[in-house]
Amino acid sequence: MEARKSVGQEVRPTAVDANLNDRLSSLGLSDLDIDSCDASLCSKRELVKLAEEYEDIFSRHSLDCGKAEGFVHRIRLTDDRPFRMPYRRVPRPTTNSSGKYSRRWRSRG
């Protein structure tokens, strides 16, 4: 049963709350802050249960875009005539940041 907080009383995290945070951390979702969520303990448990059930849809880091395997993507065109678009220059102020991301993507495979 969830402990109720009265006015002026500090609520300390319980072992159950720590267990929920540990379960989220094991999924790589330690950034998900359920302690500050204004929900019942039952709802928090349900959230963690859903996160465990659907863990494959969450990104693990900022460069994790995921993969769509087993899916054929088609782009339907109005005609079969090939076309070529000109190269687009990257503005100088964004060159360093775009290069940084492309190096990270290449290093991750």
Q: Is residue 18 assigned to a domain?
A: yes
Q: Is residue 65 assigned to a domain?
A: no
Enclosing domain of residue 38:
11-59
Q: What's the CA gap between 86 and 69, in Å, rounded?
A: 31
Q: Is residue 23 assigned to a domain?
A: yes
Q: What is the pLDDT of residue 9?
A: 46
Q: pLDDT below 50 — which residues of the chain?
A: 1-2, 5-6, 8-11
Q: Is residue 39 assigned to a domain?
A: yes
Q: Is residue 31 assigned to a domain?
A: yes
DSSP symbols for 3-39? PP--TTPPPPP-HHHHHHHHHHHHTT-TT---SSS-S
Q: What is the pLDDT of residue 50?
A: 92
Written as six digits, the tokens of 61 are: 């880091």
Q: Is residue 30 assigned to a domain?
A: yes
Chain centroid, CA 64 distance in Å: 8
- The number of domains in the chain is 1
68-97 as b/e: b if 16+ CB within 10 A: eeeeeeeeeeeeeeeeeeeeeeeeeeeeee
Q: What is the pLDDT of residue 15?
A: 59
Q: What is the pLDDT of residue 109?
A: 67
Written as six digits, the tokens of 50 are: 């859903």
**Residues 23 and 52: beta-carbon distance below 8 Å:** yes
Q: What's the CA gap between 39 and 47, in Å, rounded?
A: 10
CA dihedral 35, 41, 42, 45 (to 10 degrees): 40
Q: What is the pLDDT of residue 10?
A: 47
Q: Is residue 46 assigned to a domain?
A: yes
Q: Is residue 91 assigned to a domain?
A: no
